[in-house]
């Protein structure tokens, strides 16, 4: 791969070529790393020889570490995470992303020993794949001054026991942005009872659901919204649906379809919902107070994977719900909205898109409507 970098930047061409080749080689790349480097001839030789990034960090002639401000780790072996973090001690790290592959039958990697080594860290992302163990929770609780946190376990990651009561989250009081993925209210409850005083401006929540209707149990979410009523400006909700056949009369979600209230959010400026049930979105939008001047709304219609198997019980009028959306944007709290972005699933087709555009005619007339398919 040949790359041309302006000579005035002062970086040797072979170094740039080596870094790009390394980061694009799936067989050797351990991470995606944003970095600015000042390198010696020895560094260039190491990169050109195809050594791993860990070898580069550990070399005696390394001058890369003082310039690393962002690090993204997605490695299969937990010990590599430890080794790379140890090799970057002293880096002015501001952003750290870790995808944890630790399995339940392995001893969790000792991540917590590195927490105090990165005092400049403001953006932390954790994505446990197999288990949401105490080590991960301790790790996120040790950082002081975090502004942004993403804790998004994969479907496989869960806890068989209750969340610990001896881990304090008081260090997260400076958080402005929180992205949280949870299968039940347990994780969100843990956040709220662990000494955390939230002052969020952005909240991004992923809910998991079997049933096509509603949001599911959201009492803990409503409680969190109330605690951030004077600060929260941006709210994004996404519902991911389990593709598991179940007894319709005995849904794993229970009978709670959930009613999410936005009435307490006095400073809300943008709301994004990615969900199958557009009626639930309408109810949430209708709950916004007239004094709240929301500017941007995104409605992303999500496909429900079990719709084919339960078509006899899934009944909702597309025309009715989209006409209600249109009516809501005539209400005082939405009348000043600058954008309404609607994303429809592919099964709507071109005819379906045309009908939705017609049902949202008032929004189209105000030139705030953006309509797309995915």
- Confidence at residue 105, expressed as pLDDT on a 0 to 100 scale: 58
Please tell me the predicted confidence (pLDDT) of residue 245. 56
In degrees and rounded to multiples of 5, residue 325 shows phi and psi of -55, -45
**Is 274 inside a domain boundary?**
yes
Q: How far apart are CA 207 and CA 248, in angstroms?
A: 20
CB 89 within 8 A of CB 116: no
Q: Tell me the average pLDDT across 8-30.
A: 60
Look at residue 358 and tell me if it is in a domain: yes
* pLDDT beyond 80 at 26: no
pLDDT band at 213 (very low <50, low <70, confident <90, very high): confident
Element housing 330 (H / E): none
Task: Check if the beta carbon of residue 39 is closer than 8 Å to that of residue 15.
Answer: yes
**pLDDT score for 235:** 96
Give mean pLDDT, residues 227-235.
95
Q: Comparing C-alpha atoms, which of 211, 243, 237, 240 is closest to residue 314?
A: 211
Closest listed residue to residue 55, CA positions, set 257, 130, 64, 114: 64
Domain that residue 250 falls in: 207-374
Cβ pair 139, 127 in contact under 8 A: no
User: CA 197, 201, 207 angle in degrees (round to 5)?
Assistant: 85
Q: CB–CB of 208/183 below 8 Å?
A: yes
- Quick check: is 278 in a domain? yes
The residue-averaged pLDDT of 316-341 equals: 86
SS3 309: coil
C-alpha 333/C-alpha 265 separation (Å) is: 12
What letter would DSSP give residue 311?
Answer: T
Per-residue pLDDT, averaged over 97-111, amounts to 70
CA distance 288 to 260: 11
Q: Is 91 inside any structural domain?
A: no
Asked whether residue 262 is assigned to any structural domain, the reply reads: yes
pLDDT confidence of residue 121: 92
On whether residue 39 sits in a domain, the answer given is no
Cβ atoms of 157 and 128 within 8 Å: the answer is yes
Residue 353 within any structural domain of the chain: yes
Asked whether residue 231 is domain-assigned, the answer is: yes
Tell me: the pLDDT tens digits for 257-308?
Answer: 678 889 999 999 999 999 888 888 999 999 999 889 899 999 998 776 555 5
- Phi–psi pair at 264, nearest 5 degrees: -85, -10
| Mean pLDDT computed over every residue of the chain | 77
Q: Residue 151: which of 181, 106, 131 has the closest Cα?
A: 181
Residue 90's region, left for phi above 0, alpha for psi from -120 to 50, else beta, is: left
- Percent of the chain predicted with pLDDT > 70: 73
The structural domain count of the chain equals: 1
């Amino acid at each position: 791969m040949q790359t041309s970098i302006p000579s005035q930047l002062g970086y040797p061409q072979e170094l740039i070529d080596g870094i790009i080749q390394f980061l694009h080689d799936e067989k050797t790349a351990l991470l995606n790393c944003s970095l600015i480097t000042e390198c010696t001839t020895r560094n260039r030789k190491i990169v050109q020889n195809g050594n791993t990034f860990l070898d580069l960090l550990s070399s005696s002639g390394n001058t890369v570490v003082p310039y690393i401000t962002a690090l993204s780790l997605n490695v299969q072996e937990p010990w590599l995470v430890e080794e790379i973090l140890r090799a970057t001690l002293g880096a002015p790290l501001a952003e750290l992303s870790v995808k944890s592959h630790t399995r339940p039958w392995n001893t969790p990697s000792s991540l917590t020993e590195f927490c105090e080594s990165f005092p400049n860290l403001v953006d932390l992302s954790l994505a446990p794949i197999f288990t949401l163990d105490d080590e991960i929770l301790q790790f996120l609780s040790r950082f002081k001054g975090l502004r942004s946190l993403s804790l998004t376990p994969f479907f496989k990651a869960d806890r068989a026991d209750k969340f610990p009561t001896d881990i304090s989250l008081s260090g997260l009081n400076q958080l402005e942005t929180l992205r949280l993925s949870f299968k039940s209210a347990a994780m969100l409850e843990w956040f709220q009872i662990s000494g955390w005083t939230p002052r969020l401006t952005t909240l991004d929540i992923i809910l998991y659901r079997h049933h096509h209707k509603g949001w599911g149990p959201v009492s803990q979410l409503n409680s969190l919204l109330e605690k951030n009523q004077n600060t929260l400006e941006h709210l994004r909700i996404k519902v991911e649906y389990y593709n598991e056949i179940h007894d319709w009369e005995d849904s794993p979600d229970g009978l709670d379809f959930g009613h999410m209230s936005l009435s307490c959010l006095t400073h809300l400026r943008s709301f994004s919902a990615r969900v199958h049930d557009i009626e639930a979105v309408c109810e949430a939008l209708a709950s916004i107070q007239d004094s709240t001047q929301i500017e941007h709304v995104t409605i992303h219609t999500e496909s429900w994977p079990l719709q084919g198997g339960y078509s006899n019980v899934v009944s909702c009028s597309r025309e009715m719900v989209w006409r209600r959306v249109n009516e809501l944007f005539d209400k005082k709290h939405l009348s000043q909205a600058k954008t309404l972005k609607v994303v429809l699933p592919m099964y709507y087709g071109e005819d379906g898109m045309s009908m939705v555009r017609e049902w949202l005619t008032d929004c189209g007339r105000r030139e705030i409507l953006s309509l797309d398919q995915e």
